[in-house]
Structure 1
Amino acid sequence: EASGKTKFLFFSVSSEQHASTPPRGWNSYDSFSWIISEAEFLQNAQILSQKLHAQGYEYAVVDYLWYRRKVPGASADSLGFDVIDEWGRMIPDPDRWPSSRDGKGFTEVANKVHSMGLKFGIHVMRGISTQAVNANSPILDTTTGRAYEESGRVWKAQDIGLKEKACAWMQHGFMSVNTDLGAGKAFLRSLYQQYASWGVDFIKNDCVFGDDLNVNEITYISEVLKELDRPILYSLSPGTSVTPDMAKAVSGLSNMYRITGDDWDTWADVAAHFDVARDFAAAKMIGSGGLLGTSWPDLDMLPLGYLTDPGANEGPHRTCRLTIQEQRTQVTLWSIAKSPLMFGGDLRNIDDTTFGLITNPTLLEINSYSSNNVEFPYIQGAGPGGRKHGLSRMYPTSVEESEVEVLGLTSCEDPKASRWLVEELDKDSERICWKGNMVGRHGKPFCLSKRNPLIEQDEETMYGSRYQGSLHLSASEDIELCLDASPKRKITSSEPARGSFSRCTLNANQMWEFHGNGTLISSYSGLCAKMKKVEANAGAAGARSWIASGRSGEIYLAFFNLNSYDMTISALVSDLGKARPGRTVSACTGKEIWSGTEISRPTLYSVSIQVESHDCALYVLNCR
């Protein structure tokens, strides 16, 4: 273990407006996984400053595990390789981040990033590290500079770490802290005050949202950030299973929050963003109130250019697998949905095409300053042979998709979550069944066997009262596997999060509470179980369209072809006004930005263009 110098800050509420437009920057994850070094990071930051800062890309963010030693045996979920200070807090690996030695942390890196005119960001995990809990580190009381004391004793990491709430997809790495305890709050306060003392401007907090929701930690961290003497943007991750109802609980506590699983360079991942982006726009979550400012639904980083692979122990070694058409579709959707734009490729190898795409002035104008951004359902598409697809509905698709039912999680505010009931099989056994109109493939209701967790005598002190009334659920009485609420690995945006079974433990991820109102609540996240329909092939198809208003009165209209064949997509001019309350549209001129096609004479009837498979069109229209 390494020691770090304790620093103290004076605190005041910042008057600066946070995230008034969707944040932009560069994040190291897509190109370096966890292994990036100080030199590699600063090289990318320098290029960000020289080539992209003028276009609003201002955050240079080092992603996860900057504290992990890069030695044989270390990996994304290894235990025992992290560098922690005497207070159980993560500090940079000095071999990869040499300027961090002598207790400096990220101070010198942040100073260099600031000298480039940029802002510096870091990734952190939920709660406290398993390594700190195993070491039983004391907790720093930042008000005294000594170990935290309460009720006549010194509190340590094992007093606050909730081992049963280990991060579902990083079981060996991190766990929640008990925020009901003064010591738990003191630990989180010491963490975030240290980040501020290093000069951090942006924090991405992982394994606290989506299926891993931890409202208590998010709430307290947000309170700490409000008190700091420097503005720190607060970002939440991951976004698996996120719905607008779930996000409403935390959007006001943060500045950006992921709404999908990890996005990588596959067409399935890109296509999976259309439905969720539509839902958040319809719920008016884009640019709603956030931590000391505004918050933005986040579609994840842009995995373009020179990349690595998920969780790899190596840096950039391959080019993006998306076609140029698919890349154009991705950046256009991200821009018109007003997602934060965080580029993920290695900037030292950025090519002209990628650079031109992420700096396109029309896209950046739309991303920062457009308004009334929503999916536009009033379009028609014609495929090969003139085959037409009526797409004037909110869930457009051109083919019949087979669907399967999966068990997922939702906000307990969702009225459809209260559809569970208990059935008695005999005097000694019961099962919990879904009573919605959804049944299994063979016409049988979906049911889970109910059993009480087996708590050994030596575990009674730790778990007995905490799990009073909690249940284990299994597929049948004679199967010794229990239902996990959240995925035990990181999943991508195209993979539906679904319940799975594994060996029964006393981990909160396998603990459930059945309530009399018909809800089945996960003890891990506080979210409710619900049966959902998902497409069997997890792929979106058809044509989509988005519309937005420009700040000079123009209309932005985007067409997206999600099919595997070319389509002609069109919209009636008279329908454009339907998305603009109180405005009638009768004629338009304008330009399609990717082809350069001009509408020089006012069109009175329709806007129409042929769009290649997986490609898009983007019009800037001046209408009367």
Structure 2
Amino acid sequence: MKCFTLCLVSFLLLFDFWFQSVSSRNLSESNIQQVGLPPRGWNSYDAFSWIISEQEFLQNAEIISQRLRPHGYEYVVVDYLWYRKKVPGAYSDSLGFDVIDKWGRMVPDPGRWPSSKGGNGFSEVAKKVHSLGLKFGIHVMRGISTQAVNANTPILDTTGAAYQESGRVWYAKDIAIQERRCAWMSNGFMSVNTKLGAGRAFLRSLYAQYAAWGVDLVKHDCVFGEDLDLSEITYVSEVLSKINRPFVYSLSPGTCVTPAMAKYVSGLVNMYRITGDDWDTWQDVAAHFDISRDLATANMIGAKGLKGSSWPDMDMLPFGWLTDPGSNEGPHRYCKLNLEEKRTQMTLWALAKSPLMYGGDVRRIDPATYEIITNPTLLEINHFSSNNIEFPYVTSSKNLKSEYQHHIGKMRRSKKGKKHIHSLALTGCTESKAIGWTTENQSLNQDLERICWKGSLEIKNQNPFCVHKRDLQFRLDGENTHQEDYRGKHHLVATNQMRFCLDGSSKRKVTSKEFNKGTFSPCRLDTNQIWELNSNGTLVNSYSGLCATVKYIEANVVSGGIRSWIATGRNGEVYLAFFNLNEQKTPVYAKTSDLGKVFPGRRIKSCQGTEVWSGKNVVTTQGTISVDVEVHGCALFVLHCN
């Protein structure tokens, strides 16, 4: 133990040297493209939730090494709460069950990770993973744990002793922003003040420890999307940039992400989630088409990232043997997606060049799933295709002279008619769609001022979304030394429920539920419920720094339609996919001549090739490519065109 402590102190001293000064040798190595391709691997969450053990993890890793590593799957990632004791009363947002060291840092639960005993952390697991030819990743949360704050642990300095500044030792309560807790794990973690030297020292000590363990990837959660904490992302990126070996930096989750928001972080990281959690429902799969299109159009695929490239991440592939969201159970059920839906998901993920992280228990992977995730054409597209973009020139009509339909979805309405609901979303405050909030004199309560959304009202005669401003009526815990300036900021209360305040970030992060925003919960001193109305008509949330916008969504509607993506291969081949989002088998048509419209300077007259899933040869007939696509299915063509 003494030897380990001396080694750790030595490592921290070396890490501080890396962090403070970068030699010319380090500069040259930092320019190496360490993440030039979308990462590929396996993550434990979809199959095991938080309860995975060392034995189960290594069993999966061994099979991945044997069966998936030859196909480019090289990362194995332990998802969240690896530090939580698996005992009665413990669950995803419980308090007091975590294992922390004397510096307030999370360490693996020795009951589930026995090799971590004696201060080893994940070192032995990482060594085993590396011996299998794989790379090791872990999930981490924002900031500091509530448990560390309650214990008021001291902050570790790079000298191996407690951090001192201004003549005193600094502790967890000095750096914690207790009113900025993770919105969906409020008992778990909160932000740290990165303006303080002690706050930065704490984050530095975390990632120094992960590097010492041999970690190759960190999935940093509750810092992006509507949980955005740009200051922490920026500082962690700076710390990781000084580690003189490849290290992948991943962000999660991605609820409410826009291209503008992606541009805030893409240069700081290597992969970032662009939706909430994706589970095995068709609604979750279909919800990825719009955001993946928007990011491709904004040229975010493979943009410059941390010491390499960055990739919009569409979340794990929830195939095979799974658990349920937030469960205390391990894998116990089979994926609900049918074969066509799984092919659609894998094809879209490949064409959008998303990182491919398999989510099922690999010990029980079935032949059909294995065939999909190792399909050589899809893996070639995912890593080596270019010019990847949605292809708008498709139709479901034989009359190709009719107007092409970009979103052909025939909206199937219920008998209740065209009722619309408000959908509150968060977006970057510099975006035009964030502007539209105004104050009104009309109010049911004379003591409260009403503010309403009046920007870009798409629906005529639709009542505006309105809330009432109320002064903050809470005081901070006297033990919390961090004091934000909340002058000019307010709670926003519902018209008829003055005890309920508007939340910025939702507590559920499921992709298909993202439209259902604008929730109210009991008022509390929480930055997620604190807002500031600016003179330019923007409404800023203090938790994320993002601005509120409102959309009007038609209720009782099931979206369908057809979509298409296109890309080019390394040898000039054209990849073209048709997707059927309808509830019935649908013919899809495209003109061969239209393929050239998305490739500047290239004129295409005729094509021939194969359809991947059926294996059938394809020859254009009268300048047209056509196929009947199954319900929720897809067709993928590999074309050689003249």
Letter of the 1:532 counterpart? K
**Pair 1:165 & 2:184 matched:** no
Deviation of residue 458 (structure 1)?
Answer: 6.8
Deviation of residue 495 (structure 1)?
Answer: 3.4
Q: 1:465 to 1:607 in 2, by over 3 A?
A: closer
Among 248, 267, 280, the alignment partner of 2:282 is 267
Secondary structure of residue in 1 paired with 2:511: coil
Secondary structure of residue in 1 paired with 2:111: coil
**Pair 1:613 & 2:628 matched:** no
Superposition pairs of residues 24-43 of structure 1, within 5 angstroms: 24-43=40-59
Q: Which residue of 2 aligns with 1:315?
A: 330
Among 243, 247, 252, the alignment partner of 2:267 is 252
Count of residues paired in the alignment = 617
Q: Which residue of 1 aligns with 2:440?
A: 423
Superposition pairs of residues 440-589 of structure 1, within 5 angstroms: 443-456=462-475, 465-476=484-495, 479-496=498-515, 498-537=517-556, 539-589=558-608
**Distance in 1 separating the partners of 2:476 and 2:591:** 71
Deviations 1:181-237 (CA, angstroms, capped at 9, x unpaired): 000000000000100000000000000000100000000000000011222100000
**Distance in 2 separating the partners of 1:188 and 1:538:** 45
Superposition pairs of residues 9-24 of structure 1, within 5 angstroms: 9=12, 10=14, 11=18, 13=26, 14-15=29-30, 16-24=32-40
Q: Which residue of 1 aligns with 2:140?
A: 124
Secondary structure of residue in 2 paired with 1:147: coil
**Distance in 1 separating the partners of 2:191 and 2:476:** 24
* Unmatched tracts of structure 1, length 5 or more: none
Deviations 1:485-509 (CA, angstroms, capped at 9, x unpaired): 1102333344325121111111001
Q: 1:116 to 1:360 in 2, by over 3 A?
A: same
Secondary structure of residue in 1 paired with 2:441: strand
**Pair 1:406 & 2:423 matched:** yes
Secondary structure of residue in 2 paired with 1:490: coil
Contact 1:240–1:497 under 8 Å retained in 2? no
Superposition pairs of residues 48-87 of structure 1, within 5 angstroms: 48-87=64-103
Secondary structure of residue in 1 paired with 2:396: strand
Deviations 1:318-363 (CA, angstroms, capped at 9, x unpaired): 1100000000000000001100000000000001111010000000
Q: 1:388 to 1:586 in 2, by over 3 A?
A: closer
Q: 1:533 to 1:457 in 2, by over 3 A?
A: closer
Deviations 1:560-593 (CA, angstroms, capped at 9, x unpaired): 0010100111110011101111110001110001
Q: 1:116 to 1:389 in 2, by over 3 A?
A: farther
**Distance in 1 separating the partners of 2:382 and 2:48:** 26
Letter of the 2:96 counterpart? G
Deviation of residue 416 (structure 1)?
Answer: 1.7
**Distance in 1 separating the partners of 2:635 and 2:479:** 62
Letter of the 1:255 counterpart? N
Q: 1:460 to 1:72 in 2, by over 3 A?
A: closer
Letter of the 1:196 counterpart? A
Among 182, 197, 200, the alignment partner of 1:182 is 197
**Distance in 2 separating the partners of 1:286 and 1:271:** 20
Contact 2:437–2:454 under 8 Å retained in 1? yes
Q: 1:509 to 1:441 in 2, by over 3 A?
A: farther
Contact 2:174–2:482 under 8 Å retained in 1? no
Q: Which moved more, 1:458-467 or 1:532-541?
A: 458-467
Contact 1:405–1:534 under 8 Å retained in 2? yes
Q: 1:379 to 1:478 in 2, by over 3 A?
A: closer
Identical pairs, percent: 61
Q: 1:245 to 1:614 in 2, by over 3 A?
A: same
**Distance in 2 separating the partners of 1:444 and 1:289:** 43
Q: 1:470 to 1:390 in 2, by over 3 A?
A: farther
**Distance in 2 separating the partners of 1:459 and 1:453:** 16
Deviations 1:406-435 (CA, angstroms, capped at 9, x unpaired): 111111121121111122348743111112
Deviation of residue 547 (structure 1)?
Answer: 0.4
**Distance in 2 separating the partners of 1:66 and 1:564:** 41
Among 255, 258, 281, the alignment partner of 1:243 is 258
**Distance in 2 separating the partners of 1:231 and 1:391:** 49
**Distance in 2 separating the partners of 1:215 and 1:543:** 36
Deviation of residue 468 (structure 1)?
Answer: 1.7
Deviation of residue 53 (structure 1)?
Answer: 0.5
Q: Which residue of 2 aligns with 1:113?
A: 129
Contact 1:381–1:391 under 8 Å retained in 2? no
**Distance in 2 separating the partners of 1:140 and 1:297:** 34
CA RMSD in angstroms, aligned pairs only: 2.1
